[in-house]
Chain A
Amino acid sequence: MAKKLMKGNEAIAEAAVCVGAINYFAYPITPQSEVAEYLARRLPEVGGVFIQAESEVAVGNMLFGAACSGKRVFTTSSSPGISLMQEAISYMAGAHLPVVIVNIMRGGPGLGGILPAQSDYFQAVKGGGHGDYRLIVLAPSSVQEAVDLTILAFQLADKYRAPVMMIGDGMIGQMMESVEFPAKYQDPPLPPKDWALGGARGRKPQVIKSLFLDPIALEKNNILLAEKYKVIRENEVRYELYKVNNKNRLLLFAYGMMARICQTAIDELETEGISVGLFRPISLFPFPEKEVYREVLKDNIERLLTVEMSMGQMVEDIERCSKGKKPLGFYGRTGGIVPMTEEVKGAVKKELGLVK
């Protein structure tokens, strides 16, 4: 298929349509409203359903109900809206339901602002709802990758019967880049949805729920979830290295759009004779734990630096995975302010003791 120039929000919407996810529930919120705008026009063309709910609480529960049918269902929102869905997300994780949730993050806490942020990392990765559950969390750093990871999100949701969240900052939703969609999409082999509820004619009745009043049964469900997360940790780690080599003095860690800005900083530092590499986690859960440790251990790496559009969230995972082997610094901006190339360069130089 020919390349198209699209906004991240529109591209995510089209990627969902591409994999047959035509059941969409949402409530508008900046900076992701273009997803709903796009799908309001697009879904009727493909026989899909778009319900604009009365609130994000309702969206979460519509997803829960619709996901039980075994059809692909999804929503998109931004930070405060995602907070309102947390109860349903926990329920869907407990009920082993495949669903895709996209969070185009804006600055918080509270109603915060509408400009780009990465301050929902903890909420997405460490579990914003209650109970012993995880989400598979994916973080694109280009519009093309937003398309690719949206497609992957639906596959992983079905493969593991689990909610998958994709997080991007407001910038990736708003910016335009060239994208390509699969000309003829076909799912990889996926398990049959024999758990779905579509009427019990010809089979025994089955129930999808997250309520287990018997402690033995509830623990059994938790063990089942934990076993699933173990398999996910083994099979679904994704990351990218940029200019990582044995000349690097410092290793940067950044995800999403922040990683793009770090790449430019690395290119410019290179021309000044300062060699820096970038480790970009793509799956935030499962986190590339072993891979981070492996790169941190390399002899040439003197220091580590995490850069985020937050006050420091992923940095805690880098700290955990680097096991204190190298000094770890942090640089971040918030409130919708994006750390620019010059700031990242300055932070790197400061970390290396090249400037005060």
Chain B
Amino acid sequence: MPKQFEVTLAGFGGQGIMLAGQLLAYSGMAEGKQVTWVPSYGPEMRGGTAYCTVVISEGRIGAPIITQPQSVCVFNRPSLEKFGPMVKSGGLLFINSSLVDIASGRKDINEYLIPATDTAVKIGSVKFANMVMLGAYIHITSVVKFETILQIFLEKMGDKRQFLESNRIALEEGRKFVQ
């Protein structure tokens, strides 16, 4: 089977979960890979849960929704409770330790505690937490290049280009936690 990366990003509405997933998908596509991005959708309200699954593959992608993803990034505690048990054995779990004070308790996966929200606040806004997390995830998996995601940010978020530098720092800070 072709090499494939699967990641579910989960948190509450407003944490930039969907956007982080889309930036990842755009980046994978820019690097010539097949990608899918599937959002949760349902009768959700502001502050409710939000999650998306991104698959990046060197070949044709079958199922775009995955029961046991290789990687999961959780931004709040309800997401850890829901998705922590689903990480594939041997897989990766990234926990936003600023908002989640427990770990998964699993011994069969690699767990990374990333203080994404606190780090984002230090950089200037809580909104950078998604990029801090992506920095850690991308460093560990090498799923896409850092330059690609910054390039994509510039292309897709042109009207927010003044935040490019902060986002770059957020990615870098995220990477430092797992180096």
Q: A residues within 8 Å of B by Cβ?
A: 3, 5, 30-31, 114-115, 170-171, 174-178, 257, 260-265, 267, 271, 338, 340-342
Contact = CB atoms under 8 A, between A and B. Distances in A.
A7 to B, nearest CB: 9
B1 interface: yes
A5 B22 contact: yes
Interface stretch (B33-41, B77-85, B111-119): B33-41
Interface residues of B, number: 23
Contacts of B43: 114
Nearest to B29: A178
Contacts of A260: 61-64
Given A31-B41, A171-B64, 4 more contacts: A261-B63, A340-B65, A341-B66, A342-B68
Contacts of A342: 67-68
Q: Quick one: which of B25, B37, B39, B63 has the most chain A CB within 10 A?
A: B63
A176 B22 contact: yes
A29 to B, nearest CB: 13
B48 interface: no
Closest 5 CB pairs of A and B: A264-B62, A263-B62, A176-B37, A264-B63, A261-B63
Contact of B37 (A5, A263, A271, A340): A5
Contacts of A114: 41-43
Contacts, number: 69
Contacts of A267: 1, 62
Contacts of B65: 171, 261, 338, 340
B26 interface: yes
A178 B62 contact: no
Interface of B: 1, 22, 25-26, 29, 34-39, 41-43, 60-68
Nearest to A178: B29
B26 A5 contact: yes
A178 B34 contact: yes
A178 to B, nearest CB: 5
26 contacts: A3-B29, A5-B22, A5-B29, A5-B37, A114-B43, A115-B41, A115-B42, A174-B39, A175-B37, A176-B36, A177-B34, A177-B35, A177-B36, A178-B29, A178-B34, A260-B63, A263-B60, A263-B62, A264-B62, A271-B1, A341-B62, A341-B63, A341-B66, A341-B67, A342-B67, A342-B68
B11 to A, nearest CB: 18
B30 to A, nearest CB: 9
B64 A175 contact: yes
Contacts of A170: 41
B146 to A, nearest CB: 19
A261 B62 contact: yes
Contacts of A171: 38, 64-65
A171 B36 CA distance: 11
A114 B25 CA distance: 25
B64 A174 contact: no
Nearest to A31: B41
A6 to B, nearest CB: 10
A350 B39 CA distance: 31
B42 A5 contact: no
Contacts of A115: 41-42
A174 B63 contact: no
Nearest to B40: A174
B5 to A, nearest CB: 15
B42 to A, nearest CB: 7
Given A5-B26, A5-B29, A114-B42, A263 B63 contact: yes
Contacts of B22: 5, 176
B156 to A, nearest CB: 9
A261 B62 CA distance: 6
Contact of B63 (A5, A176, A177, A340): A340
A30 B60 CA distance: 28
Contacts of A3: 29
A340 B67 contact: yes
Given A114-B43, A267-B1, A342-B67, A175 B38 contact: yes
Contacts of A177: 34-37, 64
Nearest to A177: B36
Contacts of A264: 62-63
Contacts of B37: 5, 175-177
Contacts of A340: 63, 65, 67
Nearest to A336: B42
Contact of A178 (B1, B35, B38, B42): B35
